[in-house]
Amino acid sequence: MRKIIGIILTFIILISFPACGSDKIEESSSTSEKTVSAVSSEVSEKSDIKAVSSSAANPLELESWGRCAKFSVSEQKYFSVPVRLMKVQKGTQAKKQAEEYLKEHDEYKGIIRPDNDSQWVVLDYEIMLDGFPMDENGADASISSMIMSDEGENIKVGDDVFIPVTVNIYDDETAFEGTVKGSIAFVMPKSCKTFLAVLGETGEENAFVKCTV
């Protein structure tokens, strides 16, 4: 099945990979290509899923349902949908999934690749579409994301700020209800063993998930 790809972040500062720390966030690390209402509406939950709010101070665990903002094309605004991270991958499998995907898209050849001190990390997630507003084409699994330190700040690499570029990988097949799955790939220093995955558009509702590699 043909894949489509979205680049959520457009810059990265990286000089070396000593110890992994954190720094306070001074600006948004995710941008939106859509001009929309800043108000998110909540999708009614038709299933038995009980999604909860989260924060950097109170993050979700893997496989726990949270809520994040997803853009509705039909309504031209964001709606809060149930979302959960299912798995954190690294090593051979993560490298294969990321590299093979990017190899099919030459326009993204400038994206940073791992060196000896860094590695590919892939996060598998799913979102619930029940009650999500959509047109006759349905909806896909695309969501925005960014990666933060486990303190909820920018990741520090030595004296420098390291901002991972997240690549949203998902099927181009759409659905009208139920769950749809996708992945988020990014390069991470090997010295960073824990971090927060922040799902959803910046400035809208986010799901914060505690991750360990």
| Secondary structure (H, E, C), 190-209 | CCCCEEEEEECCCCCCCEEE
pLDDT at residue 172, as a whole number: 78
Is the distance from CB of 88 to CB of 63 less than 8 angstroms? no
**Residue 177 burial class via C-beta count within 10 angstroms: exposed 0-12, middle 13-18, buried 19 and up:** middle
pLDDT at residue 148, as a whole number: 96
pLDDT digits (tens, 9 = 90+) for 22-44: 654 433 333 333 333 333 455 54
Please provide the distance, in angstroms rounded to a whole number, between the alpha carbons at the two ends of the chain: 29
Percent helix, strand and coil across the chain, each rounded to 5?
Answer: 10, 40, 50
- Gap between the Cα atoms of 78 and 71, Å rounded: 4
Residues of the chain with pLDDT under 50: 1-18, 24-40, 44-45
Residues 6+ apart with CB under 8 A from 22: 148, 149, 150, 151, 153, 154, 155, 156
Residues 6+ apart with CB under 8 A from 44: 130, 131
**Residue 166 burial class via C-beta count within 10 angstroms: exposed 0-12, middle 13-18, buried 19 and up:** buried
pLDDT at residue 111, as a whole number: 81
- Gap between the Cα atoms of 145 and 142, Å rounded: 10
Is the distance from CB of 181 to CB of 170 less than 8 angstroms? yes
Sequence spans of domains, the chain: 3-30+38-212
How confident is the prediction for the chain on average, in pLDDT?
A: 82
Residues 6+ apart with CB under 8 A from 152: 25, 55, 56, 57, 196, 208
pLDDT at residue 106, as a whole number: 73
Handedness of CA 176, 177, 179, 184 (dihedral sign): positive
pLDDT at residue 207, as a whole number: 98
pLDDT at residue 28, as a whole number: 34
